[in-house]
């Protein structure tokens, strides 16, 4: 990266893509069921990081109809299409290896797809996309109500976040389009916008030391308050533990990744992963499930589900590499022949 390392600098896309690349690798690693403390640190901030990065370049002043159509195309179309692909893939995996998997609830999964409802037999594996859609609409609504006044936006964000935290803490039942988590996520979208507005640098040694200390301390404290062991923060299940520790850990971890990627200037591998993070997110369950199925057959064919102690970091890293290798050609195919499934505008050939 060149000399300009500010958030608004010329190379902002490179570092933002690199940060998305880090985030999507953490998503994949988290889905391989790594050891408890690894999971606790990953889940403490990896989805808030995605929300924060989405807020960095969110355009607030577009005509609402244009904004709504664009977000529906880029978020809801991939959500519906790839949920149906995942449903078909899961059904095939169960049909091929019924002794290792529970039957697929087709009706429940279709309901989850049509209503963007997550949890239970309505599980929607791609819950983040409609949640981001809802959160962005909420933030745009705050912007319009406040008429662009920054302090008013922050107050509205605070009210929405408190409402989301309260609902998730005391009710916890998922809402359509993940509106419950979207209320919480508006805070991270706004943090991203504030980062862009304030143009923070944070390159002094004390920045790294303080942010790392806040992140590690708040993550461990929240992990302990949730009961330790396999318990961890998980936005998809509305599990956040102590609200203050949750926000401190999520903000600290996200800022560390963002500043590290700004300092690096965007490594090529990470920027490629970041530019293709949507395709990777939509597709990764298929090669990951295949890898898990192979692992079960080769490494432990006698167990339906391996005991917790077998979820080692080595196993997770093997599954991560296997998944990424299979995703490379899959991402190429989707970008080359099915770009509309990712919400990309297909230019007509003249």
Residue with tokens 């998980």: 234
Q: What is the pLDDT of residue 6?
A: 40
Residue 272, classed as helix, strand or coil, is: helix
User: Which residue, among 196, 201, 211, has the nearest Cα to 150 in the 3D structure?
Assistant: 196
Range 318-332 burial, b when 16+ CB lie within 10 A, else e: ebbebbbebbeebbe
Beta bridge partners of 234: 239
* CB 127, CB 175: distance < 8 Å: no
Q: What is the pLDDT of residue 300?
A: 62
**Each residue's pLDDT tens digit, 49-106:** 999 999 988 888 889 899 999 999 999 999 999 999 999 988 887 887 766 667 888 9
The domain segmentation of the chain, as residue ranges, is: 12-342
Residue 199: is its pLDDT beyond 50?
yes
Residue 129: is its pLDDT beyond 60?
yes
Give the residue-averaged pLDDT of 298-312: 57
User: Which residue, among 121, 128, 160, 163, has the nearest Cα to 47 in the 3D structure?
Assistant: 128
Percent of the chain scored above 70 by pLDDT? Answer: 89
Q: What is the pLDDT of residue 8?
A: 43
Give the residue-averaged pLDDT of 152-175: 90
**Each residue's pLDDT tens digit, 330-339:** 999 999 999 9
User: Which residue, among 155, 129, 17, 138, has the nearest Cα to 67 in the 3D structure?
Assistant: 138
Instruction: For the chain, give the longest Cα–Cα distance.
Output: 62
Instruction: Give 277's pLDDT tier (boundaries 50, 70, 90).
Output: very high
Q: Is the dihedral of CA 103, 106, 107, 111 positive or negative?
A: positive
């Amino acid at each position: 990266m060149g000399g300009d390392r500010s958030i608004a600098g010329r190379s902002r896309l490179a570092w933002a893509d690199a940060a998305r690349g880090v985030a999507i690798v953490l998503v994949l690693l988290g889905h391989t069921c790594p050891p408890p403390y690894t999971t606790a640190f990953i889940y403490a901030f990896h989805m808030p990081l995605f929300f924060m990065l989405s807020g960095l370049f969110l355009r607030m002043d577009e005509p609402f109809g244009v904004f709504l159509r664009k977000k529906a195309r880029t978020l809801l179309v991939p959500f519906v299409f790839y949920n149906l692909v995942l449903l078909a893939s899961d059904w095939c995996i169960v049909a091929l290896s019924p002794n290792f998997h529970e039957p697929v609830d087709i009706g429940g999964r279709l309901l989850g797809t049509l209503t963007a409802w997550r949890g239970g037999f309505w599980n929607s594996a791609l819950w983040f996309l409609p949640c981001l859609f809802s959160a962005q609409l909420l933030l745009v609504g705050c912007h319009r109500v406040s008429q662009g006044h920054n302090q008013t936006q922050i107050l509205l964000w605070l009210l929405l976040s408190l409402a989301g935290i309260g609902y998730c803490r005391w009710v916890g039942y998922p809402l359509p389009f993940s509106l419950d988590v979207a209320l919480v996520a508006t805070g991270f979208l706004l943090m991203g916008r504030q980062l862009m507005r304030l143009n923070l640098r944070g390159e002094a040694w004390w920045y790294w030391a303080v942010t790392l200390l806040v992140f590690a301390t708040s993550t461990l404290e929240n992990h302990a308050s949730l009961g330790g062991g396999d318990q961890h923060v998980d936005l998809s299940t509305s599990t956040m533990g102590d609200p203050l520790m949750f926000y401190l850990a999520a903000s600290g971890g996200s800022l560390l990744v963002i500043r590290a990627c700004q300092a690096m200037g965007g490594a090529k591998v990470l920027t490629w992963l970041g530019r293709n993070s949507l395709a990777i997110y939509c597709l990764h369950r298929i090669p990951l499930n295949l890898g898990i199925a192979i692992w079960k057959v080769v490494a432990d064919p006698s167990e339906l589900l391996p005991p917790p102690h077998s979820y080692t970091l080595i196993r997770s890293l093997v599954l991560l590499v296997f998944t990424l290798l299979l995703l490379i050609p899959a991402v190429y195919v989707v970008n080359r022949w099915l770009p509309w499934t990712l919400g990309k505008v297909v230019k007509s050939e003249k």
